[in-house]
Structure 1
């Protein structure tokens, strides 16, 4: 499958001046590069028709199964321009593995890891000029898969399409990293046991949108979900994993239980913390433990993590009945130190001790 060759159809390109104007202030998810990747899968032929084509609308039959039964999954990762001009991605093989985990749960075809990575290379190479070089800027990559067989009937589709689009991204935090308040969702759940919580599919995020609106109405920037069976056991935020930091330097994070997405940033932070000698506990974590720990001074920091923001310091957890307030200690020292180490590795200022970076465009080959 790694021998599958991509055909290229060049897109009309923005002028250098137009592109640079966008890259000066790209925002997040507002602008898109000139090209995208498309690969077709059918039950009879497997993966075929690999293309790099101009970015644009996807022709789709109104009966396409994704529109009716939600067979859709996606990933998120970034390409970074380093000081020498080279372009790298961070742990793309982990994204490929997680996409395939999601594919199995949603009854979609798995894509070979080498083909996933090759597709990333194809898109980033042709659109290398879109990888920004400003502070905390990157090219956000969105691989996704949809079932696009045209039929009405509840069964797994026999045709699917894998695509990748890319969007230049500025710093997630405008004005620097600031602690956020999060809202405890008591009336809505993100996922249930045996459901799709561990898959990265659109339905999980759709389920978080109404609670996110409730959070905003209560002055919070994110929402925290608990296990629907217990109301106290923490799962994750709307789109991020959670960590608590104890006063002895131990990191505590909810264990993967089928409801929680196996975050690649989460995995990386666990490894970096262990490298420093910190204990990391992956276990059941409750709101009650968090509340009591802050009151007693045994829990001193809290943060959420994900690809987009890397680390988001948490100052408060608010609910209808109580508020857990870390106070002036947020953002915590360990929180920010881990963030600086991980982003430093991604952008080329810190040694990549674990071989997590995949070089797409070496400095010697890049001409801007």
Structure 2
């Protein structure tokens, strides 16, 4: 064999071996669920070629991972019958987990029987979600039609839509609330939204059991204000929000005091930030509207639906608004979420 032919043969063999090694390395990563993280240029190429307005599969998770490398997208939105297997929540008391509440959750889930969104939404290959906050910044912005364009519209507590459709839209996919924040007048509920319960203390689960089984509340001790006596929803239309999102938002994203995993001063995220965290795990694109308190304008409306002013905000025992704002600004700056009202 001529020397030149021998050299070509060796080079070809090296190329083949190199290709086999590279392919096996990528296959190994995929088998173990460690899909190689895309670098920013690769993300720009992947999503930059899509037409404007087209949903970008995996976009929010990919952008989130670029600033929080340990972020893992898979985290169920709601508790299901396998909730005891979720190691991240079983060793924590509410609001960060389900410890001591396993039996009552079992009873509730046996009655509700449903654990997803809707069949048409669960089957979507790409979901665009928006979290609609209650901030006064929404007032007179005429964003209603734009909000209604999203696949999943999330609203919080008792924020009304009936008289504010031009600004906040008409569509509600799910409404997340805790007992003290739940709508108290049955006629104010939307006709087809899911009732999503978020627990912040053990007694909250007892309240939910009463609502699911249509039982009368025997006592009101343990709540810091009056709570709804009835929720006009069938059990199949009620869900329990995965408490992991409270835990993750508090300790991994915002950096609130751990306090041995117990509720304490300044270590509970607001429901809005919890909802955003949920969406980052379960939606391909995430937007927000109605977020942000402008403390430099004390006469500005606190909420879009009432006359209370920004100056009414007092120092919160449970929340750290400054640290939450820092976290949310980080998401907006990195294009993880889109802020329609630009209040963050």
Fold match (TM-score > 0.5): no
Structure number with higher relative contact order (C-alpha < 8 Å, ≥ 6 residues apart): 2
**Higher helix fraction: Structure 1 or Structure 2?**
2
Using the size of structure 1 for normalisation, the TM-score is 0.30
Using the size of structure 2 for normalisation, the TM-score is 0.31
